[in-house]
Structure 1
Amino acid sequence: MNKKSTGSFSTWKPRTLTEIYGSKRNKIIRVYADGVYDLFHPGHVEQFKQVKAAFPNVYLIIGVCSDADTLKYKDCLPVMNEGERLKMIDQCRYVDEAYFAPPFFPTLEFVNYLKADLVAHDALPYNSPTTDDCYAIFKSKDRFLETQRTPTISTTSLLSRIINDLDRFKARQLVRENSSPV
């Protein structure tokens, strides 16, 4: 789901964060960010806004993890299915391109395939089956753009709200189901 033409990349070479900060040119900076993006919320949007605000001309590519990979690596299915999550991401005005089912743990080869200069994520280590931090390779290559988490909201906090008030939500839903016309 590509929103903008990406042009020709026959001579593409990734730029490092240091090179980008040192450049006076207004070239497009291609940034990749990935996630499950379940229960799409303001924290997700805030991450995208941070990336877009980092440089004058950012092309943001978002990788939306598949249901199968989410189940495999997080041991649970998202509340929203992959089609719904992809549709939400694609409709976000900050996103230039949505990529479905990227590698669950990003690789340098995949990010280069997308011709992305940088990978954006918060700086906390993110464990994978092979490393303590799947973003370490990007950090070591100076191709990592740190974003800040929104402390007041997350998918986990939304799920906790639902679970903590489940009886009230069930009662509300029963009222709606019983009062809707057949």
Structure 2
Amino acid sequence: MTTSDSSLRDDRIWIDGCFDFAHHGHAGAMLQARQLGTELFVGVHSDEAIGLNKGPVVMSLNERVAAVDACKWSTASVAGAPYVTDPKVMDDYGCRYVVHGDDITTDADGNDCYQVVKDCGRFLVVKRTPNISTTDLVGRMLSTSTSHHIAPIVSTETTSLGDLKTANAGHHLFSDDSLERFRLYATAADGKSAGAGVFVWRGDNKLTQVIEPSSEIALKLQSAGQVYYVDGGFDLFFMGHIEFLKVVHARAKAAGAIVVVGIHDDATVNSTKGKSYPIMNLFERALCVLQCRYVDAVILGAPFVPSAKFLAAIGPEIKVTKVLHGPTPIETQNGEAADDEEDDPYKDAKAAGIFEQVESHPYQRVSSATIVERVLSHREEYEERQRRKGWKAENEKKLEAAEKESIAGVEV
């Protein structure tokens, strides 16, 4: 997609990157970029360019583009965008400015990828999301540590958020920073107005609202609206999750329903998958799901078994029209096939006649285990990538310090 309008627009923003894994750091950058304009064009580097400048990719270009397209703040993706940002490519899309985090990214020669646009005065800085990167996630895959997991939510007798925060004092999910992050990632396509709702499952057949949804979604949850409910771990939030949610969203929209996603806590996922799973903790996974354009609300710490009581608790008068599951086999909480009806986590939904399994989608053979296997099968290459990242980080720190010193000198 290119524009026939040769004039550059201040409200048409460009951002580019590898976008390897659809993690919340990428989404956070797109959110902040979208808040600066009315349209956001997202350049996605080719597999070859990333391999040359950074190291092997985990996700293919098509997979990475699918993830970018699913982000509700993106207007359009641009596949194969140059690794070193080119003002001419930005011109093709009418974008005056490119947005990047407050860190420096270098090419294979150690040069700042954004120096040309900086020199042109077409570079805008946003805050980089801390404590998450593709490199971090690869590191977790190469280790067996579960230190990134967070504790289950402790229930309270009342439904107020204040009481929930008190009962879970010090819990990562309820820090002021985390709650603000939930609010931001729940925003609508403009990155500013209310969008998705965020709720916490307290384990006593009650929900506590953490982030208020838009009036349209709230109406569906407070009246006799309809809900299509899906649940899972949504670890590494990859193309399989996205395509499944895309199918569910299309069906829900046709029925006048909204999509509510239940996300299992870390202990629940680990009991099913073992090892260091989930690779992303509940907070990270929730942000990944929230940024998806096919989601209307999320429930943090949703139970592994969506019982009749749980489904009734989603809204005071709500009608859960469908409970859907992807084309993957249904498992019990210990990770075994749910061959016995009593062990089937969806037995209540099936008994109510509201269960539906999506038969297929383009990425049905890809799972979080598949992605981890991609990394482990090329362990030496990814370990080399980790080492290269260390060298690049030192070089990028030096460039960043020099740039700050230069800016300070100009200000003086």
TM-score norm. by structure 2 comes to 0.38
Is there any run of 5+ residues in structure 1 with no aligned partner, and where? 13-27
Correspondent of 2:301 among 94, 97, 101 = 101
User: Corresponding residue for 2:322?
Assistant: 118
Map of 2:332 onto structure 1: 127
Distance 1:75 1:9 in 2: 35
State percent identity of aligned pairs.
25
CA–CA distance in structure 2, aligned partners of residues 157 and 103 of structure 1: 25
5+ residue gaps in structure 2?
1-195, 198-212, 335-340, 398-412
Cα 1:180–1:79 change in 2 (3 A) is: same
Give the match's secondary structure for 1:63.
strand
Aligned: 1:148 with 2:359:
yes
- Aligned letter for 1:118? K
1:1-182 mapped onto 2 (5 Å cutoff): 2=197, 3-4=213-214, 5-7=217-219, 12=224, 28-55=225-252, 56=254, 57-76=256-275, 77-114=277-314, 115=318, 116-122=320-326, 124-128=329-333, 131-149=342-360, 150-181=363-394, 182=397
118-127 vs 167-176, which moves further: 118-127
User: In 1, distance between residues paired with 2:282 and 2:312?
Assistant: 24
Q: How many residues align?
A: 167
Task: Tell me if the contact between 2:220 and 2:258 (Cα under 8 Å) persists in the aligned partners.
Answer: no
Amino acid in the other structure paired with 2:332? N
After TM superposition, the structure 1 stretch with the greater mean CA deviation from structure 2, 116-125 or 46-55, is: 116-125
- Root-mean-square deviation (Å): 2.3
Paired AA for residue 174 in structure 1:
R
Which stretch shows the higher mean deviation, 137-146 or 114-123?
114-123
Q: 1:112 to 1:180 in 2, by over 3 A?
A: same
Change (3 A) 1:83 1:11: closer
Give a deviation string over 1:37-61, Cα, whole Å, max 9, x none. Answer: 0010111011111112224123000
| Pair 11,39 (structure 1): closer, same or farther in 2 beyond 3 Å | closer
Structure 1 residue matching 2:261: 3-state secondary structure:
strand
Kept in 2, the 8 Å contact 1:108–1:137? The answer is: yes
Q: Give distance in 2, aligned partners of 1:125 and 1:172.
A: 36
- Structure (1 or 2) with the larger CA radius of gyration: 2
TM-aligned CA deviation for residue 10 of structure 1: 7.1
TM-score (norm 1): 0.80
